[in-house]
Structures are given as C-alpha cells and as structure tokens.
A and B are shown apart, each in its own frame.
Chain A
Amino acid sequence: MNPQVRLRVPADAEHLRTVRSVVAALAASAGCTVDALADLRLAVDEAATRLLLDVPAARVLAVEAAVVDDGLEVVVAASTEQATAWPPPELERSLSWAVIAALVREPRTLTTHDGPAIAFRVVSDA
C-alpha cells in the first residue's frame, strides 16, 4: 500500500498548522524537494482557507494525502451540514485559485463524502 494520511481537524484556521505539518511530513517521506514542500504548504493553506471561507458553517476540515508515483495527491474537504453550492461561480476567478493553480498540478474542485473539496497533485521534484 502506498503511504497515505487522513486527517480531520476542527474547521478553524488555527488548525491549519497541524494540517501543513502532517502533509509536509508525508511529502518529505515521498522524496519531495524543499521547493516542492514549500509550494505544497502554500497550496494546502490556500485551499483550506478558501474552503473555510466558501463553505458556510463548515465543521470539520478533512484532509487526505496519498503518495503516488511522482509525488503526492492531496484532497482538502470541508464538511458541513448546510447545503452548499460548490464550487461557487467566482472561485476560478479568485486570487486563491490563481495561487493554487500556479503552485500545483491539476487543481480541481469536487465533492467528496466529506463535502466540498479542492484536490491537486504535487510533483516531488517540482
């Protein structure tokens, strides 16, 4: 089995640090370079912050990261009990999205069993 982590923290900016650390540790074990790690941290931060803003009454941030052939696949989701239109129409024109798209590969929105999510891939030698 490829190494992976699943992490659930309260939907609150103060827990982003934990998320960044855990995901970065997995990425390091997958052979990511220091540059790739830095981009990964920024992208995780940006995705999570975006979800916290766009998903009303988000309760839990659910983060999954898995080692894949050339790096790391990451899914950041926000679970909420409120119906949420996802993705919001303006998302792709937001600064957040521009930042994420510039830092990582294949950024995309999806809805997982946890809720609205942003997924992307980080290449280890980026």
Chain B
Amino acid sequence: MPELGVADAPVRPTADPEADALFARLPDEGARAAIVARFAPLARHLARRFRGRAELEDLEQVALLALLKAIDRYDGARGPFVPFASATIVGELKRHLRDTGWALRVPRRLQEIGILVGRAIDQLVQELGRSPTVPEVAARTGLEEDEVLEALEVGGAYRARSLDAPTAEDAPALDPPADDDGLELVEVWADVADRIRALPDRERRILYLRFFRNLSQSQIAERVGLSQMHVSRLLARTLARLREDLGD
C-alpha cells in the first residue's frame, strides 16, 4: 500500500488551554460534545486525505468514530491531544481501507446488475405500494432470480452513485419513542446512546425510523431520499459498527 503522506497531518502540538479545560471536565457529556465539535474538523480533514479510495462520507464517519475513541483514550499527561488524535484517526482510516478493500473489487457486471435491481425495487415500491418480491424484481429487470439475489447480497459492497439522490440532511436528533412499548427498547439502546449520537445524521435517522418508528426499509428509503438497497446497507453497516463498538 503506497504511503499517503498523512504523517504531516495538521499537527499543532501547541498549548490549547481551552481544550485542556474541556478534557478536565470529562466524563461530563457537555464537555465531551464540545470536544467532538472542536476536533471534528480535524477528523474530516484527515478523512479527505484518503478521498478517492473510498466514499468520502464513509471516511468521515470512520474518522469521527476514531475521534471518539481518541477522546476516550486520551491521557493528558502524555502530550497534546491533536497528535495523539491524528495518529488514532489515521490508523483507523487505514484499517478501514484495508478491511473494505474487497469492496472495490466487485465485478463491473455485478455493479451494473446492482444498479438495475436498485432502480427496479424503488420503482416497484412506488407502483405496488409495498416492497416487491424477488420474482417481481426479476420480471421487471429481465434478470434471473439468482442474479437479483446476488445483487441484493452484494448491495453493501459498493456504492451506486447514480442511485444516490441528494440527501435531505434534515435528520432529527434521536427522539424518544412516542409510546410505552418503546421504553424497554430505549433502555437497551441507552447503552449505545453515545455511539448513536456520534453517527452521521443520516445513519442515525435511519436507525431511528427502523427501530423506534418501525418503518420498513422501503418506507425509510422514500423518506430519506435513498434507494432501498442503500438504506439496507447503511443499516447493516451501522448495526455491525454498534456491535463492534459495544464489544457485545
């Protein structure tokens, strides 16, 4: 893997009394949020250095999660935060690229099938008013049912740009559920609330709509302006990450 010249990331090992004061207030949530806000531009900056090798928004998400990790692990006695955080973030970005390297090798044929299938699903949802079955998608696209299944399966492996309608980034914060049924669920989710708050707005909103509002993936797709396949892979990925973060 070629060196990416990230070693000279914006390292400013100068005194930062404001940040020090915030760190001193941890584990106060307000302080934590302020630290995240303060260093999020650093995380995004580092993510952009790897642009072209993965989707920028994925990279930014990885970088922000790494920032959280760095905040948790930072020990002020061992030097300024920025170099420490930069090393953590770059490490996580590289690991992400290594782990998802296979994703870039999806054969072109499968990518094309994926685009056809994704579009057909969304059209059929509109026409039928419900999620289509695999035979229905096969009939619409002229593909074999096996091919449709294959496309659904690798749905998470690549990003079909043309399907990605601009997102309305109007995601609400993770509202509490409106009914009592949700209370027990909330208790469980409270364990990962920090991680959920750290998710990008769109992922957080999808999680919320699926698990707290009980909307189907197709309904969510309509609401957030993405294809059902895109929602499907964002959801799978988000859950895998939460699981990993929780070590649970």
A21 to B149, CA, bound (A): 8
A95 to B244, CA, bound (A): 11
**CB-contact partner of B134 in A37, A46, A99, under 8 A:** A37
**CB-contact partner of A95 in B131, B133, B192, under 8 A:** B192
Q: Which residues of chain A (76-126) have a CB below 8 Å from chain B?
A: 93-99, 101-102, 124-126
A96 to B236, CA, bound (A): 13
Residue among A20, A21, A33, A96 facing the most chain B CB atoms (10 A cut-off)? A33
**B149 near A95: Cβ-Cβ < 8 Å:** no
A23 to B185, CA, bound (A): 27
The 7 closest A-B pairs by CB, nearest first: A35-B131, A33-B131, A28-B134, A98-B188, A38-B232, A35-B216, A35-B217
**B134 near A95: Cβ-Cβ < 8 Å:** no
A39 to B219, CA, bound (A): 13
Q: Enumerate chain A interface residues (CB-CB to B < 8 A).
A: 20-21, 24-25, 28, 31-39, 41-42, 45-46, 49, 53, 93-99, 101-102, 124-126
- 17 more CB-based (< 8 A) A-B contacts, given A28-B145, A46-B239: A24-B152, A28-B135, A31-B135, A33-B132, A34-B131, A35-B131, A37-B134, A38-B228, A38-B236, A42-B235, A42-B236, A45-B240, A94-B188, A95-B242, A95-B248, A102-B211, A125-B130
Q: Which residues of chain B (181-218) have a CB below 8 Å from chain A?
A: 185, 187-189, 191-192, 210-211, 214, 216-218
Looking across the interface, which residue of chain B has its beta carbon closest to that of A27? B134
Is B45 engaged at the interface, CB distance under 8 Å to the other chain? no
Residues of A within 8 A of B134 (CB): 28, 32, 34, 37
**B132 near A34: Cβ-Cβ < 8 Å:** yes
Chain B count of residues within 8 A CB distance of the other chain: 35
**A33 near B189: Cβ-Cβ < 8 Å:** no
Contacts A42-B236, A95-B242, A102-B211 hold; do A34 and B188 have CB atoms under 8 A apart? Answer: no
Give 9 pairs: A residue, B residue, CB < 8 Å, sorted on A. Answer: A28-B145, A32-B133, A33-B133, A34-B131, A94-B248, A96-B243, A96-B248, A98-B188, A126-B216
B196 vs chain A, min Cβ distance (A):
10
Looking across the interface, which residue of chain A has its beta carbon closest to that of B242? A95
A6 vs chain B, min Cβ distance (A):
20
B121 vs chain A, min Cβ distance (A):
5
**A53 near B248: Cβ-Cβ < 8 Å:** yes
